[in-house]
Amino acid sequence: MLRIPSLLLFFSCGAVTLHAQADSDSLLVRSIYDEALGHGEAYENLRTLTKEIGHRLSGSQSAAEAMDWGKSVMEAYGADRTWIMPVTVPSWTRGTIAEASSIGADGAATALHITALGGSVGTPNNAIVEAPVIVVKRLDELNPESGVDATGKIVLFNRAMDPVLINTGAAYGGAIDQRGNGASAAAASGAVAVLVRSLTHALDTLPHTGALRYRDDAPRIPAAAISTVDASWLAHALESDPAMNVRLQLNCEAFEDVEQGNVIGEWTGTVKPHEIITIGGHLDSWDIGEGAHDDGAGVVHTLETLRILKAIGYEPQRTLRFVLFINEENGNRGGKEYARQAGIENEQSKLVHVGAMESDAGGFVPRGFRIDASDAATDVVRGWRALFDPYNVHLFRRGGAGVDISPLKTLSPRPTLLGLSPDGQRYFDFHHSSQDIFENVHKRELELGAATFAAALVLLDRHLPSPE
């Protein structure tokens, strides 16, 4: 008979404890947003990064300057220790020439808006290449059995990002093979160069760059991105003038690899210092803009998270690492090296990497998170819905959390991975283009992203179960 009141008391106490915990979390999250919106430094840090340092192409002097800057900011914000994790990265320049024009049967020339794809070779001897053009939408159209003859021609890959997909990242992923693999596929079919439709939903004259990957079993031919307006115009013009040629000139050049590195700041945990949670974005960017959304926003989100948590007097349970990854854009060597070193730490130092978060989707208003985790850990994250509801953060989707942290999935035990997910409808308007600049980032949206990033970190720190 005594067990019933005892059980009622147990459940009553449990409910009170859970309610108190929720109240504590809610107050903590509110203090984070108050600090970010009332005293934020993310926007000014982004201005410094983009306007005083500029683009940060891997292997460049500006990337090295950004590494020094990031380390100094972490030190100023109170990281217990900071260091550079050496990473060997590619060194490449697009040069000073990226020109193309169509030449009609009547000899009339029309200029085309292009830029070299990252890692492309230049045109032979940096001279002009002129050749007929064929238009394809898929790589498999260049297979021998397709009947398409690319010998001696320039291939235009003209597959647009799928406009019906609400998830613009998925639309981007569905079209990226032509940029990444198109040059080698065309070269294997005898082509002399490729033009690739820019990966954006926008119809404009801005070419969007991005990395390509040359295969070892095919010649390396010049590859350039062409604006969506020009790609559509050229494909249409070829229908009425199939004898039209394109002239192309690039003077890209690759150099020997150089040593740069991941910038790391560490804040030692007070309860479980052997458990590591990593938070970061990538420091490198393409060189035709300023890398403001991609990924200056992620860099300053990371730095601002450290500042916010110090400012509100937070004491982490786990050891927190703030990482500015190098070389995400053209190789992901920074992310791979960080994961390799994490594996060594697991084995030799008995450190356990329990979680990681990444911001690499722009400085737009935050909508939620991408979750790459076990069912149990996913349930933990989805349990935050009520805490984030006042801030209009409501998407908790399973999927890729981010390029830089994805190599950590090879660790055992496998860490919980989260990616900040801002509203992505305009992201690819700026992505990898000359318009990815400071002026196209909204101060309040950037600050909301930083607050959301910081809030998720403390919730992971407080509530993520330890590995068994």
Tens digits of residue pLDDT in 390-433: 999 999 999 999 999 999 999 999 999 999 999 999 999 999 99
7 located within any domain? no
Residues 394 and 261 in one domain: yes
Residues 138 and 221 in one domain: yes
Strand partners, 422: 366
14-41, pLDDT tens digit by residue? 555 556 677 899 999 999 999 999 999 9
18 located within any domain? no
Q: Which residues contact 87 (CB under 8 A, 6 or more apart)?
A: 259, 260, 261, 262, 326, 327, 333, 334, 337
**What angle do the packed helices 3-39 and 443-463 form, to 10 degrees?**
150
Q: How far is CA 389 from CA 29, 367, 411, in A?
A: 11, 10, 33
Give residue 159's pLDDT band: very low, low, confident or very high (50, 70, 90).
very high
Q: What is the DSSP letter of 211?
A: B
Given 253, 272, 295, which residue is the final one in a domain?
Answer: 253
CA distance 179 to 223: 9
294-350, pLDDT tens digit by residue? 999 999 999 999 999 999 999 999 999 999 999 999 999 999 999 999 999 999 888
**Residues shown for the chain:** 468
Given 253, 283, 312, which residue is the final one in a domain?
Answer: 253
SS3 state of residue 362: coil
* Per-residue confidence (pLDDT) for residue 18, from 0 to 100: 56
Helices within 162-290 (DSSP H only): 168-188, 228-240
Residues 226 and 296 in one domain: no
* Rg of the chain over all Cα atoms, to the nearest angstrom: 25
Residues 186 and 317 in one domain: no
Q: Using alpha carbons, select from 338, 353, 408 the residue that is nearest to residue 85.
A: 338
pTM strictly above 0.85: yes
* Per-residue confidence (pLDDT) for residue 16, from 0 to 100: 52
188-241, pLDDT tens digit by residue? 999 999 999 999 999 999 999 999 999 999 999 999 999 999 999 999 999 999
CA distance 31 to 91: 43
CATH number at residue 337: 3.40.630.10
Q: Using alpha carbons, select from 85, 23, 31, 32 the residue that is nearest to residue 280.
A: 85
Q: What is the mean pLDDT of residues 251-259?
A: 97
* Per-residue confidence (pLDDT) for residue 1, from 0 to 100: 40
* Per-residue confidence (pLDDT) for residue 135, from 0 to 100: 97
* Per-residue confidence (pLDDT) for residue 10, from 0 to 100: 46
- Where in the sequence is the domain holding 157, given as residue range(s)? 98-253
28 located within any domain? no
* Per-residue confidence (pLDDT) for residue 145, from 0 to 100: 75
Residues 105 and 85 in one domain: no
Query: Is residue 241 reached through a cis peptide bond, with omega within 30 degrees of 0 on the bond before it?
Result: no
CA distance 246 to 234: 10
Residues 360 and 444 in one domain: yes
* Per-residue confidence (pLDDT) for residue 15, from 0 to 100: 52
CA distance 447 to 42: 7
Give residue 435's pLDDT band: very low, low, confident or very high (50, 70, 90).
very high
Where do we find the tokens 């356990």?
Answer: 352
Residues 332 and 358 in one domain: yes
Q: What is the mean pLDDT of residues 431-442?
A: 98
* Per-residue confidence (pLDDT) for residue 465, from 0 to 100: 93
Residues 220 and 166 in one domain: yes
Q: How many domains does the chain have?
A: 2
Using a pLDDT cut of 70, give the percent of the chain over it: 96
Check if the beta carbon of residue 396 is closer than 8 Å to that of residue 371. yes
The average confidence (pLDDT) of the chain is: 94
Check if the beta carbon of residue 175 is closer than 8 Å to that of residue 159. yes
- pLDDT of residue 369 exceeding 80, the answer is yes
Q: What is the mean pLDDT of residues 90-95?
A: 97
- pLDDT of residue 13 exceeding 80, the answer is no
Given 201, 232, 253, which residue is the final one in a domain?
Answer: 253
221 located within any domain? yes
Can you read off the two tokens belonging to residue 236? 């249409």
Longest Cα separation, the chain: 101
